[in-house]
Amino acid sequence: MAGQALVAFADVSFLPGMAHWYSGLLPYPLLLPSQLAILIVQAIVCAGFLRGSGVLVLPRRPRLGRALIGVAFVYAAAMVVRYALTMAWHPERRWLGPGTIPSVFHVVLASFIATVGHYHATRPPR
């Protein structure tokens, strides 16, 4: 997110251009705050795990864990398909050409969701 903001607002040349970071699905003035909100939620969840308390930490819920893993799998799979279709329809974008960075970061977000799901799915409730 910081790299994307640097490219958008500071016009830095050592990072990939805006076309690489931005898929165009959400207007950038809405995209940046939504990305910030996602990072804040992730930080809150991580802080809860560090404390050993919080809405997504306790109580452990195996059904929630399985659901989160399922959502994360579908989400990541959709991003892999998106990436494959982008490569098929726009061969000039291979491999890390314009528009591919968002797909990679969505897979990272799906991994975060799967990790929280794994915590709940593999540990018995207290």
Residue 20 has pLDDT above 60, yes or no: no
> At residue 93, what is the residue type?
R
Residue 36: CA atoms inside 13 Å, Cβ hemisphere, count? 9
Tell which wins on pLDDT, 19 or 82: 82
Tell which wins on pLDDT, 2 or 53: 53
Q: For the segment 88-119, what is each residue's pLDDT rounded down to a tens digit?
A: 887 776 666 666 777 888 999 999 999 999 99
Residue 77 has pLDDT above 80, yes or no: yes
> What domain count does the chain have?
1
Calculate mean pLDDT across residues 74-79. 95
- The number of beta carbons lying within 10 Å of the beta carbon of residue 18 is 14
ω into residue 59 within 30 of 0, thus cis? yes
Return the CA Rg of the chain.
17
> Which range marks the domain in which residue 103 is found?
2-122
